[in-house]
Structure 1
Amino acid sequence: MVYQDWRTEWFPPMVQHLLEEFHATHPSIRVFYIPDPENLSEKMLADMQAGTAADVFQGCCDFFPAWAQNGYALDLRPYVEADLDQATRDDWDPAQYQSFFLPDGHQYGVPKYHGALALYYNKDLFDEYGVDYPDGTWDHDDYLTAMKRLTHDRDGDRKTDLWGSMIDVFWDRIQVHVNGWGGHLVDPNDSTHCQMDQPPALAAMEWLRARMWDDKVMATFLDVQNMSTRQAFIAERIAMVEDGSWALKDILTGANFRIGVAPFPVGPVRRVTLATTDGFGIYAGTKHPDAAWELVKFLISKEYGRAMARAHFLQPARASLVEDWVEFIREEFPEKARDMNIVAFAEGHTKGYSVTAEIFANMAEATRLTGAAWEQIFTLGQTPVEQVKTVCRQVEAVQPGQR
């Protein structure tokens, strides 16, 4: 049986070690780990169409539900109902867990880990410019005020080289702001209906666009020469960054300044933060569904969750493991992590305000269309937010049942 998962440097050694334990307790099952291919979403879809996909795999974001929408992910409901007690399911974030269901009830995944969005900030820069540290009371007005005070020309060449903050121009990173304004990208009651043309969504997107192109206090990728958000933060090109718990290891390793973490700023209508939808699935065409499920149960175990938390600080999907996760981080970085509010990442889970990526019935085309528009609006600053109204109609036109 084949298990496909991340190819990042730290992951394969961890997997091989843990699979030895799995094989010892499941002598009749042999698992072969292979790393994800480059260009995973398209390559995996091609493998699924050809009937050669891995038996067990990881997925997330917009492509995991797209695979399921095309019928390539096994329905896990019978296995979950037979083998997982309620305490296990209650340990997961309800928002994240529910994201692995299609509208017809088909369950295509179970949680792998719980990445969550928060606000990283550079304490040294905040102190230098006399700005109060962010905390759980911050709203978007407070956020904007701080961005303005932290944007500077530091080398005297009359060009900005320090920006207040930065965001990844990506589906769920835009969505979390839209949700904070009380809006949606996708109608919660109809996955073929677009709502990004409604006033709350447009207002949230305009707020982001204005920070990048009117106030110029939120860096674009062009401003930082296409650095990733975390690399721009580590390089002190930005004083804050909207990023996730998945970036903790890189930031703690690379930053040469004091790091703070605060809850994501509350929106004008509601408090939200993003929970990732990283999960494990089983290929619908597998010849070994029962053995595959035995492996999945091992992958969602506390032991496996602790291993990922220790190896790369991945925030556990289980609330019961959060304290262990925090301890692993403080053990490895006793000075840098000493005063960090690490549990801020888990508040969406423990306090019930997480949201997950909203999914259209035809997600592949929706992300293609919106991605092209957002590049023009946010990255290049060449198109007004009103263009989203046209994109919304285009997205609806490619949904199932449309003519």
Structure 2
Amino acid sequence: MDALSRGLLERPSVDGGGLREVSITAGTPSLLRAINERSVLELIHRRGPLSRAQVARVSGLSKPTVSLALSGLLDARLVREVGRSRGDRGPSALLYELNPAAGWVVGIDVGRNWVRAAIADIAGRVVARRDERARVSSARSLIGQIGSIAHRLAGEAGVEWSQVTHAALGSPGVFDPVHGYVAMAPNLPGWGRHGLVEAVREQLGTNVTFENDVNLAALAERAHGLGRNLANFAFLSVGTGIGLALVIDGQLRRGAHGAAGEIAYLPIGPADPRDPANRRRGAFEETAAAAGIVRQAKALGMRSPLSAETIFSAARRGNRTAMKVVQTEAARLALAIATITPVLDPEIVILGGGVGRNGDLLLEPIERELRQLMPFKPRVAVSALGDDAVLQGAVAIALEAARERVFARRPGRQVHEAAE
């Protein structure tokens, strides 16, 4: 008997003498049917397409029970017939898979320079995406852009916005669910104002999850990248800002206040961490993020216009000053990795972000510096997901939330009615 069955059939109580009793409530046919439908739906989602016989064999349910469950799921349009089996002995059998049109999700990546968004069906297939320059002049313009890009995506996919089950938005900063704003996001003007979360929800008009962008990148790495099959790893993003995401014992860790991994505030580098100007963005971010790299290059005599991208390009061409800037950046990143490693002991540190992805120039000096700093070190590698890491993570958590809602449409209603 699964946990859902036990929870509904066993109800603890206490008698007058303080002894614990357990009263057993028999499962009604509608309750048991709901449990079976949910079990079959989950199985088809994970391992489909499957035939009725295959569902029965894997689930342990009888064929008549599976047939009844499939009939209910077909009526609810949660599964669909998708051809017939081939290659087995005997007659072919109908195959069933999760109905992709049973729900839709939108994932959105909001950064200083770009807003990226994608819409996917409940099976996880991305059917449309857009990348636009971020309108960061004010929070109002950025919120309007978020709503506009999401609704246009739905139109391109031929989906009514009312069919979108869940949306997930990733941005820099720490989401405060109590006060409805995102803290510690200095690179997005006005993003920290109160009421921001509600304003975004009004624009999107659907269920919305907010998450730190680097956390989403780590979730994408766990699902599709270098973090697959690893219980402990860190994702270090270096670009316009700096952030770290932590996966420990297979779980994303946010900390007591959602600020785990905000290493921008580590007191690393020449910047004074007590200076109010540095406290806003963090001493380490002021030193090692893109703007800090540009400041150092200018101090060493490189001529404008400069950006982190042009500095790394110059280093590849053999510019000695640019190479010196890159070596200094690698040393600072190695110091940050050496700071977190004895505490977290990650199997791998994955580098991402516009700066972090320059592995051809950064990896060797980082590893050399780590050998000098500590007796043990994690493997350091560059993410292969590129600019899509945050967006993939946003789609992934939107799908997780949407599937829970969609899968509960019919089975959940029956469980609720039967338990009353």
Q: Would the TM-score normalized by the shorter structure come out above 0.5?
A: no
Higher relative CO (Cα under 8 Å, sequence separation at least 6) belongs to 1
Shorter-chain TM-score range: under 0.3
- The structure in which a higher percent of residues are strand is 2
